[in-house]
A and B are shown apart, each in its own frame.
Chain A
Amino acid sequence: DSGVTQTPKHLITATGQRVTLRCSPRSGDLSVYWYQQSLDQGLQFLIQYYNGEERAKGNILERFSAQQFPDLHSELNLSSLELGDSALYFCASSVGGGGNIQYFGAGTRLSVL
């Protein structure tokens, strides 16, 4: 058990809809990262928050947004969903800073039908 909790484990929804993925980091970790894993794109970094502030942005679509709350949990919001958004979405947490281990949650599998 990594200590990172992601909910829900599975999501099935239709095109055009909006969903919210939730992540609770390990106790004491200030940094939260979101990654997308798909067959065609592999594992891609989406966005990082550190202590409530956005720190880095990767290949995140404009239809996607995220935030980190005062209690350090994070949410990834995906809107106007398309078939191609079907993927496994991982959250990871770390204490922050280069070289520190990122601990991964079990992921949320999103299926857009």
Chain B
Amino acid sequence: AQSVTQLGSHVSVSEGALVLLRCNYSSSVPPYLFWYVQYPNQGLQLLLKYTTGATLVKGINGFEAEFKKSETSFHLTKPSAHMSDAAEYFCAVSLNFGNEKLTFGTGTRLTIIP
């Protein structure tokens, strides 16, 4: 079975500062990894995903994440926070054909301080 742990249910950063949201996963087989963002009263929007290949993945809105197999991590970063980044962020894992469901972490609420 797969699982996801997101460290820090709330993270606050100043506008212009580095954003780092942590995600660790557990999986018995090579996983597919995703970051989704949820703005208030909206559905989930994909930021980026890792399937195979390059371990540094670039997504939308300046976000990127690095897959580190040795650390079972997939942390999300953005060099410079913007007010519009305030939202809830979910890390998720899925497996192969037949077990494609997304298993989500508990989410991290990002607050941007002006």
Specify whether A and B are partners: yes
Which A residues are within 8 Å of any B CB, using their own CB?
2, 4, 31, 33, 35, 42-45, 48, 55-56, 58, 90, 92, 94, 96-107
| Total count of chain B residues near the partner, CB < 8 A | 25
Kindly list chain B residues whose C-beta atoms are within 8 Å of the C-beta of A55: 98, 100
Is B80 part of the binding interface, using a Cβ–Cβ cutoff of 8 Å? no
Given A45-B101, A98-B32, list of 14 further CB < 8 A pairs?
A: A42-B106, A45-B102, A45-B103, A96-B100, A98-B100, A100-B100, A101-B34, A101-B49, A102-B102, A104-B36, A104-B43, A104-B45, A106-B42, A106-B43
Kindly list chain B residues whose C-beta atoms are within 8 Å of the C-beta of A101: 34, 46, 49
Kindly list chain B residues whose C-beta atoms are within 8 Å of the C-beta of A103: 46
From B95, which residue of chain A is reached at the shortest CB distance? A98
CA gap between A102 and B98 in the complex, in Å: 15
Nearest-CB distance from B68 to chain A (Å)?
18
Nearest-CB distance from B29 to chain A (Å)?
10
Nearest-CB distance from A84 to chain B (Å)?
18
- Our pick among B34, B43, B95, B101 for the contact of A33 (Cβ within 8 Å) is B101
CA gap between A58 and B100 in the complex, in Å: 11
CA gap between A94 and B81 in the complex, in Å: 30
From B44, which residue of chain A is reached at the shortest CB distance? A104
Nearest-CB distance from B101 to chain A (Å)?
4
> B40-82: which residues lie under 8 A (CB-CB) from chain A?
42-46, 49, 51
| Minimum-distance CB pairs A-B, first 10 | A98-B96, A104-B43, A99-B32, A43-B104, A45-B101, A99-B51, A104-B44, A106-B43, A98-B97, A42-B106
